[in-house]
Structure 1
Amino acid sequence: MAEKIIRTEYSEVMQKSYIDYSMSVITARALPDVRDGLKPVQRRVLYAMDRLGLNYDKPHRKSARIVGDTMGKYHPHGDSSIYETLVVLSQDFKKGMALVDGHGNFGSIEGDGAAAMRYTEAKLKKFTQDVYLADLDKNVVDFVPNFDETEKEPEVLPVRVPNLLVNGADGIAVGMTTNIPPHNLSEVVDAVCAYMDNEDITTDELMQLCPGPDFPTGGIVINKSELGAIYETGTGKIKLRGKVIFEPAKNRSEKDKLVITEIPYTMIGANIGKFISDVVSLIETKKTTDIVDISNESSKEGIRIVLELKKNADVKNLENLLYKKTKLEDTFGVNMLAIVDGRPETLGIKDIIKHHINFQYELATRKYTTLLEKEKANREIKEGLIRACDIIDLIIEILRGSANLKMAKDCLVNGNVEGIKFKSEQSKKQAAGLDFTERQAGAILEMRLYKLIGLEILNLQKEYDECVKKIEKYEKILGSRKEMAKVIKADLLNIKKEYGVERRTVIEDGEAAVFEEKKIPEMEVMFIMDRFGYARTIDMAAFERNKDAVFNENKYVIPVMNTDKICIFTDTGDLHQLKIKDLPFTKFRDKGTPIDNLCNYDSSKEIIVYITPFERLKNQKMLFVTRQGMMKLVDSEEFQVAKRTVACTKLADDDKLIGMYSTDARVEIYSKFSLDGEIKEEEVVESNQNVIVQTENGVFLKFPLTDIPMKKKSAVGVRGIKLSKDDYIEDVFLLTEGDEFTMEYKGKSISFAKMKTAHRDTKGTKIRV
């Protein structure tokens, strides 16, 4: 076969391919369908379990078998994602209503993973069978071919409650995510029934019945007043808190306790361990001195994290501290995104209920249409059998006189008596008038003789009467939307009665957590950091006693107030800020803490080019110089930001910041040495300064500081010197006019005062040695 080459624009092919991939992920993997509230993998796992016959009253089956069937028949993706889905469906601390009954280690609320699928077993819960998988045999949903067209799978499960609300959903697609909180089954059913009674009901009225999410972990929702807008638009943030109980000491040997009995839904998993480590950190950093010990006494009965307290501890203030500084108060980002008619759509609670009810009407219509057709067929058969019992002697005569089954059936249906031997002409005449239907004739021919007993004939008449009543009932339901609504509501109320649970999450408008931090007396301390990056603070008296040792053993020595911050500028163009109170306050010979552990500075990747207290940055103009010769002046007000790490300048590719210099303020410097080798304790810089640039190849350029413009911290700056190939700036000096300064460069004495002043962005003069 000859090759067929299609010429097209590569970008168009990429765009189309990516869009196809995106839509596939969005609609066929990551987002739930609004009708059953399930993602494809969840739907396929439940259907595979149903096909395996894993009913609630049957023994558990190996999870590996369930995963294998799901993957081989319906979901051609990784087994890990299928097993993870099975695990989550069984975890009652993640789902409002767990759908799978797991047997074995299926993980814990504290983040422990489930055992391998070969060790665990599972089966369906009764709730799942009754509410999610019932009526699949009644043609209520469409079945579509599986991935290789060897099996059929339901396009959607006939779920009878709004699973999107009951169990919530989460998923990450391409360019969009969904995050729907779980709700209380009983409340959701009440809201659905209310909507069916009045389709013009408002969101606020619905929320009288379903006031908000009901998380399986309990907890407290503290922004009740904001929930209306969230449920109207389908997006927003729910603020959650754990439940904290104060347990006073029962006797002198015990201590007062603060016990966390419920946690925010967002704390499930590793965040419980992080919460405990955060509390330990609060103790170590002396944010609180009221906690003596912390222990996790959680078990299968529930969460119990115990904080033992000092005597006369400020319990309310401590509780607020936990809310402010740990995950005990957190936010749940709501984004109620689901697939509606094959397209992703953000829905409010009213929209979700509306789509659910439309789906229920569709299910009910298909179900009762199927049942009606079945009962009509049943009625037809019963009518034929009753009529046959009245002329049973004639039918027996036809059967005995027929040469084969086909001849007998032809006679029953069409009255064709040709070839059949009758005892009398009258019988033949009667047989010629028979007109049973095909279905009736088949039932008559299959009828057993015991059906001719008197009681059996009475039962047949009784079954016929019941069949007629069912037909009338089904026709009434199908003929009136009002009657169908009654049936759907009755169904929902039965589900609520059998499976409803009490609300676990409290919803209120809570007060903002206000933590009053104990004020520490303001005092001057000395920040010191050695060449290995270990930092700490010592008091000024200890510094004065050990001044020489301090300078000899440390790279940075800076006086600072204990309420201030240290600003660290690095060669990567980043500014890291570190609160002095976060540093250990030690004796002189004690070891400090690695500065990497206290802020975002990474000593393995960044080099400090300037370090100063935050207060000393105020009212200054800072000169920035990069290795490739870019320069700018920046107002220090630009660096007064709340973030711990920000970009202090913009760098070109492969460029680095080599220096920052204060140009117009009094600066106390304990960490730098003057060029003659003595410690300079004070340096006063005037505005009439010159900049002297020295490159690695020995090129010097002197020009006025005023040649460098003021820029924003986000700017690259201007070129200070024209560098030759493979040459870079090595050092920069600021010299006030009139000052005499001489330096030795490769054995040659250079006087900066005698150096000719040029202009910025020129080549400079190479020093010959």
Structure 2
Amino acid sequence: METKQENVIRTDYSEIMQKSYIDYAMSVIISRALPDVRDGLKPVQRRTLYDMYELGIRYDRPYRKCARIVGDTMGKYHPHGDSSIYDALVVMAQDFKKGRTLVDGHGNFGSIEGDGAAAMRYTEARLEKLTQDVFLSDLDKNVVDFVPNFDETEKEPSVLPVRIPNILVNGADGIAVGMATSIPPHNLGEVIDAVKAYMKDNTISVKGLMRYIKGPDFPTGGIVVNKDDLHKIYETGSGKIRLRGKVEVEKLKGGRKQLVITEIPYTMLGANIGKFLNDVASLIETKKTTDIVDISNQSSKEGIRIVLELKKDTDVENLTNMLYKKTRLEDTFGVNMLAVADGRPETLSLKQIIEYHVDFVFEITTRKYHTLLDKELEKQEVQEGLIKACDVIDLIIEILRGSKNREQVKKCLVEGITEGIKFKSKASEKAAAKLIFTERQANAILDMRLYKLIGLEIEALQAEHEETMKNIALYKDILDNYDSMAAVIIKDMDAIKKEYGRKRRTAIENAEEAVYEEKKMEEMEVCFLMDRFGYMKLIDKNAYERNKEAVHNENKYVFNCMNTDKICIFTDTGKMHTIKAVDIPLGRFRDKGTPVDNLSNYDSSQERMLYVAPVGQLRSDRLLFVTKTSMCKLVEGAEFDVAKRTIASTKLADEDELIFIGSASEMEQIVLQSHGGCFLRFLTQEVSTMKKTALGVRGMKLADDDYLEHAYLLAGHQEYTISYHDKEYALNKVRLAKRDTKGIKPRI
């Protein structure tokens, strides 16, 4: 018995991983995330539109449930889950996202403010007329290649025969592996004019094309304010477009005004509208502006309308510039014109996109007219056979009457074989032997009905033949002459522009950088208060003086600072959080205050506060850091004057934590207390001043299972008493020793 040998392939694991990942990445790039430059569609969009076409869900027929479309697409062409198909279908129906919608949605397909579409079982859809006329109309004319679907039970088009540069008209966005695409939408009429200009002169430059395509045309309108940068963006295929919303000023009674935002930047779509409203509210709350009295979102199906009610004598221009600077009313749209061209991802310039489109349109037009020509040549052959048959109709009838079967007649008509056929005369048999019809003509003669022999019908046949000959001449001219084909394509594009073109929505201009004068805050000294629950507030100095005793009794941290200062919060995890004093509400002494968690990154569930001080005080101070494992160091306070909201205030060893932070500038001695009851007193000068990134030096030698619980700072002759085992214990009585020695246990 033969033993089957195993074929074991030995290879480096990293090589397999590398190859597999590259295969996966290319699959995502080509078959999922990036559009094809020819039709501007991703596979999921192409398959959904083709499925709707196959199901007969045309623009002039009733809507069909989206669940039916999604299920059919998933079962036949796109086996990757229903959500990706429905999401693609929804976006193709949203007129605020697409330059031209490709699907006519019926029902709740979401809103410009970020509301999601209803479930697919509730919504209905059908193809738009544009999609049917411009994207799918010639699929029956062999204009594109059909490929097997995932299980080879159906055929699907590898690309749709789109007759406009859809990748420019509708734009595209997608994130692949290691690359992303972001192409803004453009005006259909302008894009068609640019294509015509290229066809008339293929040496035209990007600058020349930009005489027709002024820039992006977003469905949300807005204003592109960096017109001069567009040439470089279209030349290289990447760059940043600066977008602003459209702001109008309306006058109210009593001399008051209101700012009305009627168009928003394309990037503000969805949840970012709510974020914009929150940002404006935040500007009001933090007193960055006191000019806005009220803000309301009055947007509806008719369009965007966000109203800001203003105080009298408001500097409208300065406030508008502030909104441009501080909110998303001015934003950037990152352009990266990446698409699949010739089967590989490529960043394309404006001219390259139009070149690829024109080449594609010429290809599908050539294939279309070859198909039409072949059909006309078939018709010509049949018509000429029927006309010829009418001239010898008596002979053909005689052959039919004398034959036994259809095949016998066919052989006589095609090859002149008369054997077995009964003729009335030898002359008829000789004439029959001379007949030469083609196979197709013979079939047409045999299928011809008797009424076709009526005189008028024969005349109609001859007229039809003349029409066929004209068509053949026309199609041959189109196929043989570039200018003739170009004229046909241009005529077709003119018809598309006339029916589907519309006015530009986005204005293109050069605008100066938004500059606004920030009102300078009046600098004043305030008192910072924080209670043991972490609620903090600022009160003015007079309120502090009036309630001094209550202030200190009810609050854990109390100190004076400037309202331009920053408050630093040090925690046991080694972090330091900063809060601008201006962000802390200035109120009355009895006001509740704001939780520290709301204004900083401090998380009361994860860390414990050890020390709070203003930056102004820290600049001339030195801080003592003591950890649980008895590491000590002094750090200059100036090191904590930073711009970041959260930094590491010290370096900690694994499993270590801070137990004490305090101001050591005027303190001469340090006392450490361990969990095991050991005390050690030594001079502050024995601890080195280090950078905040250092671990520090050892303060007390600890037993194996011991750790530090408390640390204290003492002035020279200060009497400092603590409660220890329910009795008072003066720390000054602890024998003065050296750092890095064992502590002593007190006798009480």
Q: Same fold (TM over 0.5)?
A: yes
1:767 Cα deviation from its structure 2 partner: 4.0
Native 8 Å contact 2:267 2:331 kept in 1: yes
Native 8 Å contact 2:532 2:556 kept in 1: yes
What CA distance in whole angstroms lies between the structure 1 residues aligned with 2:653 and 2:364?
Answer: 63
Native 8 Å contact 2:686 2:739 kept in 1: no
RMSD: 3.0
Matched, 1:403 2:404: yes
Of 33, 37, 48, the residue aligned with 1:45 is 48
CA change 1:329–1:394 in 2 (3 A) is same
Opposite residue 550 of structure 1, the aligned amino acid is: V
CA change 1:215–1:655 in 2 (3 A) is farther
CA change 1:398–1:662 in 2 (3 A) is farther
1:490 Cα deviation from its structure 2 partner: 2.4
Native 8 Å contact 1:398 1:422 kept in 2: yes
Opposite residue 22 of structure 2, the aligned amino acid is: I
Aligned residue number for residue 258 of structure 1: 259
SS in 2 for 1:208: coil
SS in 1 for 2:412: helix
Matched, 1:271 2:272: yes
Opposite residue 140 of structure 1, the aligned amino acid is: V
CA change 1:726–1:453 in 2 (3 A) is farther
What CA distance in whole angstroms lies between the structure 2 residues aligned with 1:650 and 1:485?
Answer: 73
Of 67, 71, 80, the residue aligned with 1:77 is 80
Aligned residue number for residue 583 of structure 1: 584
1:105 Cα deviation from its structure 2 partner: 1.5
Aligned residue number for residue 32 of structure 1: 35
**CA displacement 1:25-49 (0-9 Å, x = unmatched):** 2222222111111111111111111
1:349 Cα deviation from its structure 2 partner: 1.9
**428-437 vs 90-99, which moves further:** 428-437
CA change 1:458–1:659 in 2 (3 A) is farther
Structure 1 residue runs of 5 or longer lacking an equivalent are: 665-683
Q: Sequence identity, in percent? A: 64
Matched, 1:296 2:277: no
1:82 Cα deviation from its structure 2 partner: 1.7
Native 8 Å contact 2:566 2:580 kept in 1: yes
**CA displacement 1:219-263 (0-9 Å, x = unmatched):** 1111222222222222222221111111112x44x9522111111
**85-94 vs 566-575, which moves further:** 566-575
What CA distance in whole angstroms lies between the structure 2 residues aligned with 1:565 and 1:376?
Answer: 87
Instruction: Summarize the alignment of residues 108-507 of structure 1 with structure 2, pairs less than 5 Å apart.
Output: 108-249=111-252, 251-252=253-254, 255-507=256-508
Of 58, 65, 70, the residue aligned with 1:62 is 65
What CA distance in whole angstroms lies between the structure 2 residues aligned with 1:710 and 1:317?
Answer: 47
Native 8 Å contact 1:738 1:753 kept in 2: no
SS in 1 for 2:536: strand
What CA distance in whole angstroms lies between the structure 2 residues aligned with 1:594 and 1:284?
Answer: 16
Aligned residue number for residue 669 of structure 1: none
Matched, 1:101 2:116: no
Native 8 Å contact 1:31 1:173 kept in 2: yes
**CA displacement 1:468-509 (0-9 Å, x = unmatched):** 232232223322334333322222222112111111011112
1:155 Cα deviation from its structure 2 partner: 1.2
Aligned residue number for residue 553 of structure 1: 554
Instruction: Summarize the alignment of residues 509-528 of structure 1 with structure 2, pairs less than 5 Å apart.
Output: 509-528=510-529
1:658 Cα deviation from its structure 2 partner: 4.3
What CA distance in whole angstroms lies between the structure 2 residues aligned with 1:230 and 1:105?
Answer: 36
**CA displacement 1:148-171 (0-9 Å, x = unmatched):** 221111111111111111111112
**748-757 vs 254-263, which moves further:** 748-757
Native 8 Å contact 1:619 1:637 kept in 2: yes
CA change 1:516–1:359 in 2 (3 A) is same
Native 8 Å contact 2:544 2:551 kept in 1: yes
Opposite residue 33 of structure 2, the aligned amino acid is: A
**469-478 vs 137-146, which moves further:** 469-478
CA change 1:768–1:634 in 2 (3 A) is closer
1:20 Cα deviation from its structure 2 partner: 3.0
SS in 2 for 1:497: helix
How does the TM-score come out when normalised to structure 2?
Answer: 0.91
Native 8 Å contact 1:530 1:555 kept in 2: yes
Aligned residue number for residue 742 of structure 2: 765
What CA distance in whole angstroms lies between the structure 1 residues aligned with 2:75 and 2:86?
Answer: 13
1:110 Cα deviation from its structure 2 partner: 1.6
What CA distance in whole angstroms lies between the structure 1 residues aligned with 2:567 and 2:663?
Answer: 16
The count of corresponding residues between Structure 1 and Structure 2 is 739
SS in 2 for 1:495: helix
Opposite residue 31 of structure 1, the aligned amino acid is: L
1:633 Cα deviation from its structure 2 partner: 6.1
What CA distance in whole angstroms lies between the structure 2 residues aligned with 1:628 and 1:548?
Answer: 38
Structure 2 residue runs of 5 or longer lacking an equivalent are: none
What CA distance in whole angstroms lies between the structure 2 residues aligned with 1:157 and 1:137?
Answer: 11
Native 8 Å contact 2:181 2:337 kept in 1: yes
Opposite residue 554 of structure 1, the aligned amino acid is: N
Native 8 Å contact 2:632 2:687 kept in 1: no
Aligned residue number for residue 21 of structure 1: 24
How does the TM-score come out when normalised to structure 1?
Answer: 0.89
What CA distance in whole angstroms lies between the structure 2 residues aligned with 1:649 and 1:492?
Answer: 69
Opposite residue 552 of structure 1, the aligned amino acid is: N
1:710 Cα deviation from its structure 2 partner: 4.1
Aligned residue number for residue 602 of structure 1: 603
Opposite residue 556 of structure 2, the aligned amino acid is: K
What CA distance in whole angstroms lies between the structure 2 residues aligned with 1:557 and 1:439?
Answer: 104
What CA distance in whole angstroms lies between the structure 2 residues aligned with 1:629 and 1:199?
Answer: 78
**CA displacement 1:656-679 (0-9 Å, x = unmatched):** 444445555xxxxxxxxxxxxxxx
